[in-house]
Amino acid sequence: MSLTLYYHPLSSFCWKVLIALYENDISFTPRLINLGDADDRAAFLKLWPIGKFPVLRDEQSQRTIPESSIIIEYLDQHFAGAMRFIPAAPDLALRTRLRDRFLDLYLHMPTQTIVFDRLRPSDTRDPLGVADARARLRTSYAMLEAELPSAGWAMGESFTLADCAALPALFYAEKVERFGDALKTVPAYLDRLKARPSVARVVAEAEPYFHMFPNEREPTLRTKLIAEPCRRSRRRIVFLGGQGNPARASGRVTMRFMVIVKATRDTEAGVLPTTEEFAAMGRFNAELVKAGLMEAGEGLHPTAKGARIAFSDGKPRVMRGPFGFTSDLTAGFWMLKAGSLDEVIEHMARAPFPSGEIEIRQVYADEDFGETFTPELRERVARLRAQAGNS
């Protein structure tokens, strides 16, 4: 047979081409490339110096075709089958190519940004880049939710290039940024794709390699969620977690952080969040709990209901609020535990604040105080923590 596909079964862009090949039952020779093998890598780079999957080689025409979308169009032109991936109608063909580009650029690429960041050493990770990628995925989900049909395929009744692109893009994107309960059309569309025989075959062939997918680091401590009634018949959510020394799980040190929410003129005026803002924050907090990060989170009343105590020569002086508005005032806080500051930044950059500022500070652990914090003092503090936790 004249066609050889250079690929890896776990590669999302390779899935696009495999779906097209299987849809029309096109004969080809699969050439699995292990880029970790020196000989494999050298042979692949000789064929395609860019070194990215997939690449199709057509020996009959002596052509090397890279890029998943171009490969599918090449198959459509030279190995046409019952399924045509580019519609004949020019306007629909243009919209199909646009949907393919959208899926590759705004789902596929942000997903790869997140996945590749997980493979980096911790000191070279890019939490802001990951946060941007997650935001791009959520925006793309919302756009697809509004544009995808409730039945059939991406461009209507016919299965096209856009559907070949959609399966891997949505399959892997959902692994790094969950769809959430608000989306209905997108998950249903993905379920329809998974049920298609060509797609099911691609996923089945990749399953032996799924252990290679870099999952997000597992949470190291469990949290306990307690809800208690408070005024106005609302419920205040209190998250309790371990105090004291950093926990060690699977050799990973867990540090504790306080995330300080800076006050605004609205919070100082006592303006409460809207129902929609409460709901958005609830979903965000649920993500923190699911990730094993959240120990506590509370909002604070305006300074009009607070006080300050200043000390001079050992003597206290009480000052009651309100205090003049400055950027140093605090409107709320979270207590989080994580493996690094970057991990906290990655998650908190997704907080549903339309404006404002938060500050992240690491909490001292017992070991941070050195020899002056003697074993006797540590034991005394540990007893106090145990008593406070049981009260």
pLDDT at 277: 87
Pick the residue with more confidence: 12 or 36?
12
What DSSP assignment string belongs to 199-225?
HHHHHHHHGGGGGGS-PPPPPSS--EE
195 shares its domain with 274:
no
Residue 294 is assigned to a structural domain of this protein: yes
Q: Considering the chain, what percentage of its residues have pLDDT values greater than 70?
A: 89
Residues near 210 by Cβ (< 8 Å), separated by ≥ 6? Answer: 10
Question: Smallest Cα–Cα separation from 168: which of 70, 83, 69?
Answer: 69
204 shares its domain with 263:
no
Cis peptide before 322 (omega within 30 of 0): yes
CATH number at 349 reads 3.30.70.1060
User: Are 266 and 387 spatial neighbours (Cβ–Cβ below 8 Å)?
Assistant: no
90 shares its domain with 182:
yes
Residue range 4-34, pLDDT digits in tens: 999 999 999 999 999 999 999 999 999 999 8
pLDDT at 319: 87
Count of positions (residues) in the chain: 391
Residue 10 is assigned to a structural domain of this protein: yes
166 shares its domain with 98:
yes
CA dihedral angle for residue 322, residue 325, residue 329, residue 330, rounded to 10 degrees: 80
Residue 313: CB atoms within 10 A of its CB come to 4
User: Are 148 and 154 spatial neighbours (Cβ–Cβ below 8 Å)?
Assistant: yes
Residue range 211-250, pLDDT digits in tens: 888 876 433 322 222 222 332 333 333 332 333 333 433 3
* SS3 assignment for 278-323: HHHHHHHHHHHHHCCCEEEEEECCCHHHCEEEEEECCEEEEEECCC
CA dihedral angle for residue 20, residue 26, residue 28, residue 31, rounded to 10 degrees: 20
Segments forming the whole domain that contains residue 294 = 224-390
pLDDT band at residue 1 under the 50/70/90 scheme: low
pLDDT band at residue 389 under the 50/70/90 scheme: low
pLDDT band at residue 124 under the 50/70/90 scheme: confident
Residue 218 is assigned to a structural domain of this protein: no
- pLDDT over 80 (residue 78): yes
203 shares its domain with 257:
no
Final residue of a structural domain among 185, 212, 239: 212
pLDDT at 257: 94
175 shares its domain with 228:
no
Final residue of a structural domain among 188, 212, 236: 212
> Which range has highest mean pLDDT (89-93, 293-297, 308-312, 362-366)?
89-93
- pLDDT over 80 (residue 337): yes
pTM: 0.59
176 shares its domain with 251:
no
143 shares its domain with 260:
no
Residue 219 is assigned to a structural domain of this protein: no
pLDDT at 253: 56
Residue 207 is assigned to a structural domain of this protein: yes
Number of domains into which the chain is organized: 2
Residue 217 is assigned to a structural domain of this protein: no
- pLDDT over 60 (residue 343): yes
User: Are 360 and 345 spatial neighbours (Cβ–Cβ below 8 Å)?
Assistant: yes
Would you call 140 helix, strand, or coil by DSSP?
helix
State mean pLDDT over 193-203.
96
Question: Smallest Cα–Cα separation from 306: which of 259, 342, 268?
Answer: 268
Final residue of a structural domain among 152, 187, 212: 212
Q: Crossing angle of helices 185-195/127-147, nearest 10°?
A: 90
94 shares its domain with 157:
yes
Question: Considering the chain, what is the average pLDDT of its residues?
Answer: 85
State mean pLDDT over 300-314.
89
194 shares its domain with 230:
no
Question: Smallest Cα–Cα separation from 262: which of 197, 333, 161, 209?
Answer: 333
172 shares its domain with 311:
no
298 token code pair: 């509370």
273 shares its domain with 377:
yes
Q: Can you list the alpha helix ranges (DSSP code H) found in the chain?
A: 12-23, 38-47, 68-78, 90-103, 109-118, 127-147, 161-176, 185-195, 197-206, 265-268, 275-290, 341-348, 375-390
Residue 381 is assigned to a structural domain of this protein: yes
